Structure 1
């Protein structure tokens, strides 16, 4: 069957002497593997459109249970800057890696597609990469059914006096329940506001936010610990980001 879709390249792998296999994320079909014959060749009409992060129109032939075969493609947004800048590339890679590993094959989601598309554009436009990443992580938690409780105490339901975040218990804790998790992460009011906002916020509406470094540090601690406890995946791209942070690259 011939399919015509918009898609974002999540992975691009060399195959054989001159071919590439790409993993496309599309709104209707979810993740789809497509063979692009001759795409490794410099003069190939498919060389540019099969690069990582590329957003474009793709036409491919696919039979049920088989890999697709690319017929034609047109670039809508090449995202050159995401591949050329080390920090942009690392954070954009984390977005596509989460999408690739947390969505099942042919599991479509127009909403997640739009969030990923907006997230890549936000990074390229120079918006705070850490905030973009945390916002998208929250979308992934929601998709996986592990959205943390952030609008009340996860233990007693109290909505006031929230002072910490417990990855193990699944959300925020009030002062009275703080003792229930010795490993809970202390959070300030600004951090709590963002944790409440992220589940409801659409990436497409993200502006040029200014967040204090202290708040960003608390957010990072909360989101990374929560990801490790509830998703438990060793993210290659996040590991690279952490190495850059460690050596102040």
Structure 2
């Protein structure tokens, strides 16, 4: 079996082996045993590192996929030269590794990861813009896409938009009472339009939008809060990214 995949988690196992979680386009998330890859003499040590994008040759043994060979396609070395980008890339990988079932195709997920890591590594866009776009598109692919097209209470296109974080539903500020005491995130019109764009655009153009500072802050705060609310958990890598000063305002 041959497939292209991105290493999104590594776990040392036994004396010199490593278990790799790999995001592939054909099979979704898979676990691969990499025998002896931690030995200094290993000719494929680079394939057992986080962010390694390779063409993997695998074979199945005792119900487990085992690494036979690998050809490096990209390793995103430049992430290591920017601690903020490295921390955010690690957060992206933790999201990918901890959400969803294994061996279930997730069309677009690998391309989302590769495009986002490339943008981080080459400083192509504001890091906050990359983070918000990744979170929202990741959630959409994972089955948590918010409904941002009209107010869930009155059906209008809100002038003062808000999004209920538990339900993922857009509503007018005036309709907030219809959602009880649950928390809603405010958005500006510009931030709402950007979120709509991110959810439906071609992945090649995921980051091709511009926002003023205040609008970008609103988009980032909403994307992070919605992600944590829907997944019902925190992430150590996100905490580390925040500790570097890269966090968003809390809702």
Q: Counterpart of 1:98? A: 95
| Runs of 5+ unmatched residues, structure 2 | none
Cα-Cα RMSD: 2.3
> How far apart, CA to CA, are the structure 1 residues paired with 2:100 and 2:166?
23
**Does the CA contact (< 8 Å) of 2:131 and 2:220 recur in 1?**
no
Q: Counterpart of 1:13? A: 11
- Where do residues 41-52 of structure 1 align in structure 2 (5 Å cutoff)? 41-52=39-50
Q: Counterpart of 2:115? A: 118
> How far apart, CA to CA, are the structure 1 residues paired with 2:35 and 2:105?
25
**Does the CA contact (< 8 Å) of 2:129 and 2:207 recur in 1?**
no
TM (normalized to structure 1)?
0.88
CA deviations on 1:151-203 (whole Å, 9 max, x unpaired) are 21122211142432321342322243134456433322221111221211233
1:87 aligns with 2:100: no
Question: Aligned pair count?
Answer: 245
Match of 1:163 among 161, 164, 167: 161
Structure 1 residues 111 and 163: CA distance shift in structure 2, 3 A: closer
**Does the CA contact (< 8 Å) of 1:191 and 1:219 recur in 2?**
yes
**Does the CA contact (< 8 Å) of 1:166 and 1:185 recur in 2?**
yes
**Does the CA contact (< 8 Å) of 1:154 and 1:172 recur in 2?**
yes
Q: Counterpart of 1:202? A: 202
> How far apart, CA to CA, are the structure 1 residues paired with 2:114 and 2:102?
19
- Where do residues 165-204 of structure 1 align in structure 2 (5 Å cutoff)? 165-180=163-178, 183-204=183-204
1:228 aligns with 2:225: no
Q: CA deviation at 1:58?
A: 0.6
**Does the CA contact (< 8 Å) of 1:81 and 1:88 recur in 2?**
no
> How far apart, CA to CA, are the structure 2 residues paired with 1:185 and 1:60?
45
Q: CA deviation at 1:84?
A: 3.8
> How far apart, CA to CA, are the structure 2 residues paired with 1:15 and 1:232?
29
> How far apart, CA to CA, are the structure 1 residues paired with 2:207 and 2:187?
23
**Does the CA contact (< 8 Å) of 1:154 and 1:169 recur in 2?**
no
SS of the residue corresponding to residue 107 of structure 1 reads: coil
| Runs of 5+ unmatched residues, structure 1 | none
> How far apart, CA to CA, are the structure 2 residues paired with 1:25 and 1:144?
13
**Does the CA contact (< 8 Å) of 1:37 and 1:70 recur in 2?**
yes
Q: Counterpart of 1:26? A: 24
Structure 1 residues 70 and 142: CA distance shift in structure 2, 3 A: same
TM (normalized to structure 2)?
0.87
